[in-house]
Amino acid sequence: MICPACGARHFAPAKIEGGLPAERCAECQGVWVELERYRLWRRQMPQLALELEGDITPSNSSVRVCPVTGRLMTRIRVSNAHPLLLDYSAAAQAVWFDRGEWERLVALGLHDQLDAVVSEKWQAGLRLEASRERTNAAMRLRFGDEAFARLTDMRTWLEQQPNRAEMLAFLQTKAD
C-alpha cells in the first residue's frame, strides 16, 4: 500500500483508540480503516469517550489517492460545525484518517456513526443544512436582527397551524 498522505509504503497493523483494527503509516502516523472491520468492531465496541489531545495534522493536499484501488478518494465533511474532513474511498469501502482525526471523530461523538457519516444521505443533509444557514444569514442581513427574529418566530408559529395556507393567503392580500 502507498500512503495517501505522505507516499510512504511502510504500514503496520495497529489498533487505534478503542481497539479499532487499522493499518498505520510508519511515516505520518495516519491510519487506513476498512469499513468491514469497522462494522465488526462497532458491534463489539465498548463505550468510548476520549479527551481531545493534540491537534489534527493538516493534510497537505486536497485530493488523495486510494492506496487499494488507485482511484481518487472523496473528501467528506463530518459536520458543518467542525472543520474535520475525512478521505473516503467508496470503491475500497475504507476511510483514511490523518493523525488526530480519529480522536477528533471520537471527541465529536461520531465514532459510532462512521457508516452514516460516509453515506450520501448524511452528506446531502450537511449540504442542505449549510444552504439553510447561508439563506438565514442573508435574510438576517437584509431584514436586520430584530425583524429576522420576529419573522422566524412567526414562521414557527405558522407551521403549527392547521389552516396555515389560508393564513398565508390572507397575509398576501392587500389591507384596505
The tens digit of pLDDT for each residue in 124-170 reads 999 999 999 999 999 999 999 999 999 999 999 999 999 999 999 99
Residue 46 has a pLDDT of 61
CA distances from 27 to 9, 45, 59, 119, 135 (A): 9, 28, 14, 30, 43
Residues pairing with 21 in the sheet: 15
CA triple 60-23-20, angle to 5 deg: 110
Rounded (5°) CA angle 49-50-56: 135
Write the pLDDT tens digit of every residue in 57-115.
455 557 899 999 999 999 999 999 999 999 999 999 999 999 999 999 999 999 999 99
Does position 43 have pLDDT exceeding 90, yes or no? no
